[in-house]
C-alpha cells in the first residue's frame, strides 16, 4: 500500500502550472491541471534534462520547455514521434492538501 506525505496546499500550485519538490535524487514536478487534477513526474526530461516543471500544461499533457517534447502526465510517456518516458509518482488531493507517495522520502534517504 502506498503511504502518502503532505507536501502543501493545492492552491500553492498555479492552475496549468507546477511546483517542484526537492528530493535526495533530483526534483519532482507536481503539476496542477485546469480542472484541478494533480500529477507528479520527475523534473527531468529524458531528452536533454529540461525542467518539465517549467513546461506548458495543456489538458493532461506537458510540453518540455527546452525542445518541445510532449509527455502524457498519466503515464509519463513521450508523445508523437519521440520515445522515452519520465517516471511518475502517485499523488492525490485530499481536502485541499496535496499528498505524494512517501517513497520519495525513502529515495531521499537512499541518497
Partner 1 sequence: MKNLVVIGAGMASGRLLEHLFEAAPGAWQVILFNAEPRGNYNRLMLSPVLSGEKTYQQIVTHDADWYAAHGVDCRFGEPVVRIDRANRTVYSSAGGAPYDALVIATGSAPFIIPVPGSDLPGVVTYRDLEDTNAMIEAGIAGKDAVVIGGGLLGLEAAAGMAARGARVTVVHLMGHLMERQLDPAAGYLLQRDLERRGIKVHCKGATKAILGHGRAEAVLLEDGTVHPADLVCMAVGIRPEVRLANDAHLEVERGIVVDDALRTSDPQIFALGECVEHRDQVFGLVAPLYDQAKVLARTLLGEAAAFRPVQTATKLKVTGCDLFSAGDFAEAEGREDIVFRDPGRGIYKRLVLENDRIIGVVMYGDTADGNWFYGLMKDETDVSGMRDTLIFGPAFQGGTKLDPMAAVAALPPEAEICGCNGVCKGTIVAAVQGGATTLDAVRACTKASGSCGTCTGLVEQVMKLTLGDGFVAPASGGMCKCTDHSHEDVRRLIRSMGLKSIPAVMQELGWKSVGGCHSCRPALNYYLLAEWPLEYQDDRQSRFVNERNHANIQKDGTYSVVPRMWGGVTTPAELRAIADAAEKYAVPMVKVTGGQRIDLLGVRKQDLPQIWADLNAAGLVSGHAYSKGLRTVKTCVGSEFCRFGTQDSTGLGILLEKLLWGSWTPHKVKLGVSGCPRNCAEATCKDVGVVCVDSGYQISVAGAAGMEVKETEPLAATPSEDEAVEIVTAFVQLYRENARYLDRPYKWVAKVGLDWVKAQVADLPTRRALVERFEISQSVYRRDPWAEHSTTAATPRWAPLADLTLEAAE
What H or E segment, with its residue span, contains residue 9?
A: strand 4-9
**Shortest distance, CB of residue 65 to ligand FES, whole angstroms?**
7
> Applying CB under 6 A, what is the total number of residues that bind ligand FES?
10
Nearer of residues 21 and 76 to partner 1, judged by Cβ: 21
67 binds ligand FES (CB under 6 A): yes
Q: Which does 91 bind (CB under 5 to 8 A by kind): partner 1, ligand FES, none?
A: none
Q: Which does 2 bind (CB under 5 to 8 A by kind): partner 1, ligand FES, none?
A: none
Which cell numbers in the block locate residue 27?
526534483
DSSP 25-66: TEEEEEEE-TTS-EEEEESS-TTT---GGGSEEETTEEE-TT
Amino acid at each position: 500500500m502506498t503511504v502518502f506525505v503532505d507536501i502543501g496546499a493545492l492552491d500553492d500550485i498555479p492552475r496549468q502550472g507546477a511546483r517542484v519538490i526537492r528530493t535526495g535524487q533530483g526534483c519532482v514536478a507536481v503539476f496542477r491541471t485546469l480542472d484541478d487534477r494533480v500529477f507528479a513526474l520527475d523534473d527531468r526530461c529524458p531528452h536533454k534534462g529540461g525542467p518539465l516543471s517549467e513546461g506548458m500544461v495543456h489538458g493532461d499533457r506537458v510540453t518540455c520547455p527546452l525542445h518541445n517534447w510532449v509527455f502524457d502526465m498519466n503515464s509519463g510517456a513521450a508523445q508523437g514521434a519521440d520515445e522515452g518516458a519520465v517516471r511518475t509518482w502517485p499523488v492525490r488531493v485530499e481536502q485541499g492538501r496535496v499528498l505524494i507517495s512517501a517513497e520519495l522520502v525513502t529515495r531521499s534517504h537512499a541518497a
